[in-house]
Amino acid sequence: MADPMRIRAQAAGGNATVRVLMAHEMETGQRKDAAGKVIPAWHITNITATHNGNTVLTGEWGPAVAKNPFLQFIVKGAKAGDKISINWKDNRGESRTDEATVS
Amino acid sequence: MQTRRKTLRNSALVAGLLAASGLFPGYALAFNAKAFEAKNLTDVLKALGLGTPTESKDVSITGPDIAENGAVVPVGASTTLAGVKQLLLLVEKNPSALIASFNVSDSVDANITTRAKMGQSSDVYAVALLADGRVLFAKKEIKVTLGGCGG
């Protein structure tokens, strides 16, 4: 399906800063194509981030998040070697999960 | 494949119905469509079932003063307060005011950055919902030179 997400997780001082770049069109449902028909909304609706299997962050996104969304957050108590996984679901029912290890 | 897609679709339909009828609490995993259709800060909070917001210095919103490309505006919301349950990002003049809502657990800092689309220069709000029920916000005006919603 979509390209894999790029996840960078860096441990610093007991926390890990996680940066994720997801590949997704994020159509707002406002644009019209060349024929004048509205391009239907297609965007990520839910995000779940887990750290070593525990959910640490969930989010709901509307159509106004930019294309190829970027997300940055800080996980407390994460250290090198921990697993961070990000999962998204969009309004077409598709979803994707990618994992990274904290460095 | 077929069965899974049908199940997903059915559960999405049910979740949508429940969310529309307001039965889901504000921080449920289901997509809260009503909140995303609201047009300004008060309506978004009403759709999420929350009270009136108070401006607070403990909540901060980060973002450029002038965004060259309205399709990609980096914005961040953070707060130093303890007991934050949810962080919301809103752009007042967007067709859908609520950009994103994040349910923060104790394992993450209440500090999120993402990129939003802004249709025009507008105020951007970061709202923090605390466990004790307080709704605090901060706002910042971001000017946009080229609108990002497809115009």
Distance CA A2, CA B3 (A): 22
In which domain, by residue range, is B68 found?
Answer: 39-144
Q: Is residue A1 part of a domain?
A: no
Laid out side by side, the sheet with B59-62 consists of A6-12, A15-21, A70-76, B111-116, B73-79, B59-62
Number of A–B residue contacts, CB under 8 Å:
116
Task: Find which of B7, B24, B31 to mutate to test the A interface (most A CBs within 10 Å of its CB).
Answer: B31
In this prediction, residue B151 carries a pLDDT of: 44
Q: Using one digit for the tens of pLDDT, what is the confidence trace for A30-82? A: 888 888 888 999 999 999 999 999 999 999 999 999 999 999 999 998 989 99
Residue of B74, B96, B103 lying closest to A64 (CB–CB): B96
Interatomic CA distance for residues B71 and A7, integer angstroms: 22
> Do B107 and B44 lie in a common domain?
yes
pLDDT at residue B28 greater than cutoff 60? no
Cβ-based neighbours of B23, under 8 Å, separated by 6 or more: none
Residue A49 lies in a domain: yes
The confidence score (pLDDT) of residue B13 equals 65
> B69 with B133, same domain?
yes
What is the tally of structural domains in chain A?
A: 1
Parent domain of A22: 6-101
B151 occurs within a structural domain: no
- Report the number of distinct structural domains present in chain B: 2
Cβ–Cβ contact B115 with A under 8 A? yes
CA dihedral B65, B86, B48, A59 (to 10 degrees): 80
Helix (H) or strand (E) holding B8: helix B2-20
All residues of chain A having their beta carbon less than 8 Å from the beta carbon of residue B12 are 93
Contact between chains at A73 and B113 (C-beta distance less than 8 A): yes
A87 touches chain B (CB under 8 A): no
Task: Confirm or reject contact between A65 and chain B (CB < 8 A).
Answer: yes
The CATH number that applies at residue A36 is 2.60.40.10
Mean pLDDT value of segment B6-22: 56
Q: Does B13 touch chain A (CB under 8 A)?
A: no
pTM of the model: 0.81
Q: How far is B135 from chain A (nearest CA, A)?
A: 18
A55 touches A47 (CB < 8 A): no
- Going by the DSSP 8-state scheme, the letter that residue B22 receives in this structure is T
- Residues whose CB falls within 8 Å of the CB of residue B130, separated by 6 or more in sequence, listed in order: B81, B83, B84, B85, B136
Q: Is B100 in contact with A62 (Cβ distance < 8 A)?
A: yes
